[in-house]
Amino acid sequence: MKRLVVLALLLASMPALAAPAAPPAPAPLLLTSARVLDPAGDRLLDGRDVLIENGRITDVGPTGTLPAPAGTRKIDLAGLTLIPGLIEMHSHLLLHPYDETPWDDQVLKEPLELRTIRAVVAAKATLEAGFTTVRDLGTEGAGFADVALRDAITQRMIPGPRVLAATRAIVATGSYGPAGFDPRWDIPKGAQVVDGPVEMRKAVRQQIAAGADWIKVYADYRRRPGITTPTLTQEEMAAAVDEARSAGLLVAAHAYTEEGIRRAVLAGVKTIEHGTSVTDELLALMKQKGVALIPTLAATEAVSRYAGWKPGEPEPQRVKETREMFARALKSGVTLANGSDVGVFAHGKNARELELMVAYGMSPAQALRAATITAAAVLRKDQELGRIAPGYFADLVAVKGNPLADIAVIEQPAVVLKEGQIALDRR
């Protein structure tokens, strides 16, 4: 008995497991002579300096006018255009392109350790492409590896974007892959399986306890050969949203079908992923309820390429549908934020989504806002991400040329900074 008391006292006196503190911030940095995207994201301001201290922008002004503290390091950005670090709303850092390895084989055969190491490489490629924040929407069978990846990046062990992790994602029984096996085999799925509001609530609690920043649910799935149907019930999704909300988290719903989208929106999710069959009525409802659409155009294009389509040939049905959906969504005034489903295609090629948004009807300024100001607002981080203004994180990308005239110039950044740290310098 006495031993137990001693043990209890010992345990009580042990400090809680805390993340190691990040290393001290670097010296102040002055970016000089840049052309800068204005905070509203619609025009470029010539001849600007940007002062960075402790990882944040502290001042922006005409070149030569900012008082720089002693020891300030200067970086000359003459001839370059500075835009905010880009935000990817739908990544899978734990996946790699399906034309390299089919999704089923990645989930069933690749060791978790190999997948995690590959994700470290993917994170670096993402950051160097100018994407300084990603919402990673599911590890697809790799457990909580996204949380470890996020924390390793936060602790500056490895380079990478700021990661908002959704961990395992949540699906209904019989409504996710790998599928198509003899029913006797209990095949592990690429997400956490639940049935009923009670199990849903428990899964959300487990994922939050394991470090989730967002919760992802699958409102529908191709659970019959060739047919996509709703899966989770209204009550199940409502339980997910309610439980997530209790912990201050938002929910993203994978939804292609009209009924799947309707249930998810009525349940109170914050984002609809893909949204292929969204109707005008549902777009109006989403707009009214402040639900954002993440169109993942680049994934549709990639999957079509893997099926044999070559750009330039007549568009396959799914590309046509996506283009048509995007045009209607744009016209409706619903919030459209940049999310590509990268991982389906190569990490670091995230800019493809912005190019397609422009090809399908957005102006380059609108596409840039979808990947900066708008995305930050959906993430509820619009006071610190998505603009070049005092108080914001110094997540910055310098590109050659004018992204408001040609969005493709963002493909090859010259300089990338995250929280004032230089991640890439190809000047």
Binding-site ranges for Zn ion (CB under 5 A): 341
> For Zn ion, which is the closer residue by CB, 341 or 353?
341
- Structure-block tokens of residue 373: 């100001």
Torsion sign (Cα): 376, 381, 385, 387? positive
Gap between the Cα atoms of 305 and 313, Å rounded? 11
> For Zn ion, which is the closer residue by CB, 127 or 298?
298
> For Zn ion, which is the closer residue by CB, 351 or 404?
351
Smallest separation, CB 91 to Zn ion (Å): 8
Smallest separation, CB 165 to Zn ion (Å): 14
- Surface-to-core class of residue 127, CB atoms within 10 Å of its CB (0-12 exposed, 13-18 middle, 19+ buried): buried
> For Zn ion, which is the closer residue by CB, 201 or 274?
274
> For Zn ion, which is the closer residue by CB, 201 or 216?
216
DSSP 242-285: HHHHHTT-EEEEEE-SHHHHHHHHHHT-SEEEE-TT--HHHHHH
Q: Give Cβ neighbours of residue 190 (< 8 Å, ≥ 6 apart).
A: 103, 107, 138, 140, 141, 169, 176, 177, 178
Q: At what angle do helices 317-332 and 297-306 cross, to 10 degrees?
A: 170
Q: Give Cβ neighbours of residue 163 (< 8 Å, ≥ 6 apart).
A: 93, 123, 134, 136, 146, 149, 150, 153, 213
The answer to whether the beta carbons of residues 138 and 171 sit under 8 Å apart is: no
Smallest separation, CB 90 to Zn ion (Å): 6
Smallest separation, CB 191 to Zn ion (Å): 11
Smallest separation, CB 93 to Zn ion (Å): 11
Smallest separation, CB 73 to Zn ion (Å): 39
> For Zn ion, which is the closer residue by CB, 88 or 341?
341
Smallest separation, CB 92 to Zn ion (Å): 6
> For Zn ion, which is the closer residue by CB, 132 or 296?
296
